[in-house]
Amino acid sequence: MNRSKAQSCGRLYMPRVVISGYYGFDNIGDEAVLHAMLQALRAAVPGLEATVLSKDPVCTARQFSVRSVLRDNLGQVWRALREADLLISGGGGLLQDVTGPKSIIYYLSIVAMARLLGRPVFFYAQGIGPVHTALGKNMVRIVANRVDAITVRDTDSREELTALGVTRPAIEVTADPVLGLDPAQIDIARGKEILSSLGLGSGPVAGISVRPWKNAKGYLEVLARGADDLAALGWQVLLVPMHRNVDLDCCREVAARMSEPAFLLEKSADYMDILALTANLDLAIGMRLHFLIFSSLFGVPLVGIPYDPKVNRFLQSVGLPPGLSAEQLDYKELSARLTQVLAERAKLGSQLRERVAPLQKEALKNAELAAELLRGCGV
């Protein structure tokens, strides 16, 4: 039902969007992206009704106060799109084929369904690439040239789309939705409680995020040695799994390889718990992009360990040097970087806050553009 029909029935029409992304997989970063998107969209579009495509619709509906349908049930997805005013595809790194072609095929198929139904499509703060296969490149070019608006979270993503032959619509660089969160709204005291429950005391805390990566072999041993060096200096080392079922074994392995004791967040935690925890860190060493983004919100000095170009793209956006590649991680280089960061910790934290502040406005711009699209559709 469109706005005019709703008003003729004496009802106020509520704008409806469908959100497609990597949701319902218990990945802290992606769940935080969804939280940040919904918060920004609800502020920009009063009365918004959102339906999220999810691997776990019951959990997603309960946690985010939205409608949710099973992402793999094409009948449910079709009906949700048919009732919607706009498909939002994003945020996150959806259009890449590093892990195989399935991701690109799935997400662009959802876009194609929306276009078949005549629904506008917005690529929302996406991270693009790498796209290596001919199939992936052709699909992105054909489908992306037929969407209504595109924002990407970094300049390299815009360049990737341009190189793939995407010429319309105009591609606007904004920022990752999580950077739009207000750090003042995070329950820092809750983070202290979590650290205390794990046995951490009053000394400085270094948080480490690791994940498995197919091409990297010796990085866990190198990280363990670096963590031992920090512990010998009086630091408390905390290993933080961001995608619990995927990362936990790697975290355990780093702890097992260390000579000094380490702390491990083994119990289940949601994205608000991890945000609160990172607010209490004094140093962050990370592979996971959103662990680094969380930490940056609070001015926590960072050492990135990239496994994917998106990590270096983020580091560049906040004025930091490239990280130390997980696939080629060298102990001497890690030790030198840690020594440098520890020596300049206060200055680096201050600089990070300054660089992150303008990115908050860029992150919120995504929702403002969604509101403009809805208004342009007469909603």
**Average pLDDT in the chain:** 96
pLDDT tops 80 at residue 121: yes
In a domain, 375, yes or no: no
pLDDT per residue over 34-86, tens digit each? 999 999 999 999 999 999 999 999 999 999 999 999 999 999 999 999 999 99
Has residue 34 been placed in a domain?
A: yes
How many separate domains does the chain show? 2
Q: Do 274 and 196 lie in a common domain?
A: yes
Residue 198, judged by CB atoms within 10 A of its CB (0-12, 13-18, 19+), counts as: middle
206 and 344 in a common domain? yes
> Given pLDDT bands bounded at 50, 70 and 90, which one contains residue 4?
very low
Q: Which of 173, 205, 228 is the last residue of a domain?
A: 173
* Residue 20 DSSP one-character state: E
Of 40, 38, 39, the C-alpha closest to 52 is: 38
Buried residues in 334-371 as b, exposed as e (16+ CB within 10 A): beebbeebbeeeeebbebbbeebeebbebbbbbbbbbb
**Rounded to whole angstroms, how far apart are CA atoms 151 and 121?**
12
Based on the domain organization, do 187 and 256 belong to the same domain? yes
Beta strands in the chain (DSSP E): 16-20, 49-54, 67-70, 86-95, 121-128, 149-152, 171-173, 205-209, 236-239, 263-264, 283-286, 302-304
Within a domain: 83: yes
Q: Is the pLDDT of residue 2 over 50?
A: no
- 319 and 299 Cβ atoms separated by less than 8 Å: no
Does residue 345 share a domain with residue 199? yes
- Is residue 231's pLDDT more than 70? yes
Tell me, yes or no, whether 265 and 308 share the same domain.
Answer: yes
Q: Which of 138, 173, 208 is the last residue of a domain?
A: 173
Q: What's the pLDDT score for residue 216? A: 78
Q: Which of 269, 344, 264, 340 is nearest to 299 (CA)?
A: 344
> If pLDDT is split at 50, 70 and 90, which confidence band does 99 have?
confident
Q: Does one domain contain both 290 and 354?
A: yes
The pLDDT assigned to 376 comes to 85
Q: Identify the residue with better confidence: 43 or 12.
A: 43
Residue 314 confidence (pLDDT) above 60: yes
Assign 343 to helix, strand or coil.
helix
Q: Are residues 195 and 88 in the same domain?
A: no
* Same domain assignment for residues 217 and 160: no
> Does one domain contain both 67 and 16?
yes
36 in any annotated domain: yes
Q: Which domain holds residue 18?
A: 3-173
Closest C-alpha among 153, 157, 155 to residue 179:
153
Is residue 20 assigned to a domain? Answer: yes
Give me the helix-helix angle, 345-376 and 28-44, nearest 10°: 50
Same domain as 203, residue 161? no
Mean pLDDT throughout 268-274? Answer: 97
Q: Do 201 and 335 sit in the same domain of this protein? A: yes
Q: What is the domain-level CATH number for residue 20?
A: 3.40.50.2000
CA distance 308 to 1: 43
Task: Note whether 141 and 193 are same-domain residues.
Answer: no
Per-residue pLDDT tens digits for 176-229: 999 999 999 999 999 999 999 999 999 999 999 999 998 777 999 999 999 999
